[in-house]
Amino acid sequence: MSSSHLSDLKVLVGMPAPDSWGGPAVSEPPFVAALRNLGATVTEEVYVYGDKEHPTPIFERVRRVLATAFRFRRILRRQSFDIIHLNTAFDLKTLLRDASAIWLMRPKSAKIFLKIHGSEASVLASKNPLIVFLRNYLKNRVDGFGIHTREEKQNFLDAGFAGEKLFFDKNATTVLERLPERRETPTWAKTTDFRLLFISRFIPAKGLLETIRAAALVRDRGFSFTLNCLGDGEMRTAAENLVDELNVRDCVNFTGYVSEAEVAGFLSNGDLLIFPTFHAEGFPNILFNAMAAGLPVVTTKIRAAVDYLSEPANCLWTLPKNPEMLAEKICEILSDADLRRTMSDNNRQFGVTLSPENIAREFLAIYQKIVRAD
């Protein structure tokens, strides 16, 4: 590979399964397309299958890992690559998968880059002998780790990972190309009938129940709105029951699972994203897609949000598991048209920097540093 051109790279990318849920399945395809457009030679192969509504049984997981590792091994026997880019997380399940898969792949001289979509601090700090063994194998065998936040970087450094192997990265957003040129009514021009959005997997740590409790408080303060809850998952029944208990069925809707194209439609005419997560987020796609669409945001100080957002320029902060504070912040935004206008303009400008082409250029520079490390 010529060291003078960032695009003179051969990259094998471990992709999420096309039918999987979650951010990587959305952000990685346009990112890979942008890599190709910039001149890189990219080969794609499914590496992350992902779960949907029901967890995958353990024996099926083992079968998938083995089949995937040997599939990559066959590819690596036929072709040479500069970089093997694998999408992953950093929890116990992915530690087991990545360590065993990389060992079975036998990647030869290719450099390995793990793009981490969220990591668990407890796994990085664990003294469990198995976790320590797996962690040390990846620490020594992998050439680069893509992380999203300063908090994650410190956790990796504390676990003994070399600082030169840690690279800040972002996810590409594509919502801009699916948005209409102008929305029905600008968010700052509205005084009533606000469209509030909660968009996520319905798991406890995403804050769905807290959002519904906050919606009841906002309604009791006289605001007219509809809260659309986009997604599905294990908390759906509990959420439906809470809506009935609080008697907010008239202003809270559940859409079920919504495709990315449909999400863009909701974002294009939404007035506020509510994202009170206390999950170990990496770079939550919905948060940054909503920003790119020009939505004001109420969220928690979780990882990437802290690094890239500020109050009141981009969002208002709320504490996790605190419906009362969440309701207060929602009311503050709904009551202040100037605040909504400023947030909307700032967030839209930031969203432009997350285009697939911009993100692909950043990754090409990361790859080049890894390849040149020797």
The pLDDT averaged over each successive group of 10 residues in the chain (374 residues) is 58 89 81 95 87 69 90 95 94 93 93 92 94 97 94 95 96 78 67 93 94 98 97 95 97 91 88 92 84 95 89 97 98 97 94 93 96 84
Both structure tokens of 132: 């320590």
Beta strand spans in 91-133 (E): 111-119
Residues 6 or more apart whose CB falls under 8 angstroms from that of 19 comprise 25, 52
The pLDDT, as a whole number, for residue 184 is 63
The pLDDT, as a whole number, for residue 15 is 93
The pLDDT, as a whole number, for residue 183 is 62
257 close to 241: Cβ distance less than 8 angstroms = no
Cα 134 versus chain centre, distance: 24
Question: Which long-range contacts (C-beta less than 8 Å, at least 24 apart) are formed by 301-309?
Answer: 302/277, 302/278, 303/148, 303/149, 303/151, 303/152, 304/148, 304/149, 305/281, 306/149, 306/150, 306/151, 307/148, 307/149, 307/150, 308/350
Cis? peptide before 284, omega within 30° of 0: no
Residue 317, H or E segment: strand 315-317
185 close to 283: Cβ distance less than 8 angstroms = no
Distance, first Cα to last Cα, the chain:
13
| Residue burial 194-206, b: 16+ Cβ < 10 Å; e: rest | bbbbbbbbbeebb
The pLDDT, as a whole number, for residue 4 is 40
3-state helix, strand, coil in the chain (%, to 5): 50, 20, 35
22 close to 53: Cβ distance less than 8 angstroms = no
CA distance 199 to 334: 19
CA distance 282 to 354: 15
Cα 118 versus chain centre, distance: 8
Neighbours of 192 (CB within 10 A): 8
From residue 361, give the alpha-carbon distance in Å to each of 36, 42, 83, 356. 11, 14, 15, 9
Q: Which amino acid is at 158?
A: D
pTM above 0.85, yes or no: no
Residue 154, H or E segment: helix 150-158
Q: What is the CA radius of gyration of the chain?
A: 21
The pLDDT, as a whole number, for residue 190 is 78
125 close to 159: Cβ distance less than 8 angstroms = yes
Sign of CA dihedral 297, 300, 301, 304: negative
